[in-house]
Amino acid sequence: MRIFCASIATETNTFSPLRADLNDFKESFYAAPGEHPETPTLCSAVFPVCRRKAQEEGWELVEGTATWAEPGGIVNAKTWDSLREEVLDQLRSALPVDAVVLGLHGAMVAQNCQDCEGVLLEAVREIVGLDVVIGATLDPHSHLSQKRTKNADILVAFKEFPHTDFVECAEDCVDLVARTVRGEIFPELHVADCNMIEVLPTSREPMRSFVDKIKDLEGQKGILSVSVIHGFMAGDVPDMGTKILVVAEQAQDSAPSLAADLSQELFSFRGATRPEFLSPAEAVERAKAAESGPVVIADVWDNPGGGVPGDSTILLRTLVGQKAFDAAVGTIWDPMAVKTCISAGEGAKLKLRFGSKMSDTAGSPIDAEVTVLKIVLNATQDFGTSIVPLGDSVAIDYLGITVILNSNRSQSFDPSLFRNLGVDPQSKKILVIKSTNHFYDAFVPVASEILYASVDGPYPNDPRTTDYKFARTDIWPRTEEKIS
Ligand SMILES: [Zn+2]
């Protein structure tokens, strides 16, 4: 068996003030053919999985490029064209192959393309023809177009949010691809539209039980794989929305109705899947009133993992407004301010403008006299077993609040973010972090309580009022009706 694998992935927030080009991919993750590390990245776990399988089963593996850009704004047209053609050229020279396995995110939007993954899969199909098996992994925060389901034989999305199962997802995908090549299965894809867009964390009910249920369905009655495409509300594209994707054996009569039933059940969860979201003022009031600390306040929308800059000052200003000075904020993205603090040196007092430089919706910049507490070049934080770069970073004292400024955009994954900048997270009453849900497991052991704050900013956080130009507006919460 001869298999080609490649990965082009990012999550595009089409409302973000940022833009993404080749430098953003190269800075985040870029591995030329044969240079993929042994450890997987979120969207490239198909590489180590294919390598292992190739060794175990004597496959011939041809590796193409693997690249990932931190979630951000719309991708530069030339960057998309050149990355796509790079991978397609690699595929052409790898022919003949029995299968193509792609590690995709599924929410990449370029200036000249609203459905990058659909166009890529279509081009791959055109090159390899109908007899070659095409499989891909997806992040559930993706858009599922017909172009994708028409051109792929196997599509599998991560089931968990936080995405703790990305390696298992790659294993499932590669396994199904191999079984299809061997003629053991004849997969068909079935999609049911839930006609909604919602935030669907799986660490809590009702999604926890729903994910356990779809896992149990796999392997029974010809059902090969079940995925929930959560959708990504910050991507203004025609296919934005929540969908159920069932991969089943050919002519499995029950598969379309299973997809439809699951979509009905998921639709019934609308409005009930999120934790309680507080206003900034409520969150700080509650944190101040807590008997013990640290109370973690997650700024759920100013999350660089959702493609925004992560430089909002609104929660920090709320802390100051309520005199909640026993606090640390991790992080505010401001490379310019970081550079200035590094030039000033540890211990220096200086007048600094920091935060809120990329948009007019994330508060306003703070102008204040600050003290540089600590400088760390190439700072990092942990995320499970991986190390996430924060870039050059500084901790500053602003009115008694410790604020961490960083120069590589990253969401707050882990308390090591504070420790690595010289802040003992346990020593503060309040920790403000920027993440929607990926932070949860790592912060539970240190937090006395976790609060979620819904702070308006550049992230389009309310689909009822978002000014969509391309996404469907006849879905919940824009309309109450389920159309199917
Ligand atoms: Zn995701």
Ligand 1 centroid, distance to 140 Cα (angstroms): 6
Both tokens assigned to 123 = 């081009």
Both tokens assigned to 305 = 């993992």
pLDDT tens for residues 253-308? 899 999 999 999 999 999 999 999 999 999 999 999 999 999 999 999 999 999 99
Ligand 1 centroid, distance to 397 Cα (angstroms): 33
pLDDT tens for residues 30-76? 999 999 999 898 999 999 999 999 999 999 999 999 999 999 999 99
Kind of pairing between the strands at 295-299 and 223-229: unpaired
Backbone φ and ψ for 115, nearest 5 degrees, come out as: -135, 70
- 449-453 β-sheet, strand order: 277-278, 449-453, 295-299, 430-433, 327-333, 401-406, 386-398, 366-383, 349-354
Ligand 1 centroid, distance to 30 Cα (angstroms): 19
Cα(107)–Cα(399) distance, integer angstroms:
40
Start-end of H helices in 218-352: 254-267, 280-289, 314-321, 335-344
Ligand 1 centroid, distance to 147 Cα (angstroms): 21
Ligand 1 centroid, distance to 211 Cα (angstroms): 15
Domains of the chain: 2-267 (3.40.50.2300), 280-453 (no CATH)
- Crossing angle between the packed helical segments 46-57 and 166-181, to the nearest 10 degrees: 50
Measure CA of the first residue to CA of the last residue in the chain; give whole Å. 41
Ligand 1 centroid, distance to 368 Cα (angstroms): 36
Ligand 1 centroid, distance to 438 Cα (angstroms): 9
Ligand 1 centroid, distance to 272 Cα (angstroms): 19
Start-end of H helices in 105-206: 116-128, 146-151, 166-181
Nearby residues of 194 by Cβ (< 8 Å), 6 or more positions away? 241, 242, 243, 244, 263, 266, 267, 482
pLDDT in tens, the chain (484 residues): 999 999 999 999 999 999 999 999 998 899 999 999 998 989 999 999 999 999 999 999 999 999 999 999 999 999 999 999 999 999 999 999 999 999 999 999 999 999 999 999 999 999 999 999 999 999 999 999 999 999 999 999 999 998 989 999 999 999 999 999 999 999 999 999 999 999 999 989 999 999 999 999 999 999 999 999 999 999 999 999 999 999 999 988 899 999 999 999 999 999 999 999 999 999 999 999 999 999 999 999 999 999 999 999 999 999 999 999 999 999 999 999 999 999 999 999 999 999 999 999 999 999 999 999 999 999 999 988 778 899 999 999 999 999 999 999 999 999 999 999 999 999 999 999 999 988 998 999 999 999 999 999 999 999 999 999 999 999 999 987 655 5
Both tokens assigned to 196 = 């909604």
Ligand 1 centroid, distance to 249 Cα (angstroms): 27
Which pTM was predicted? 0.94
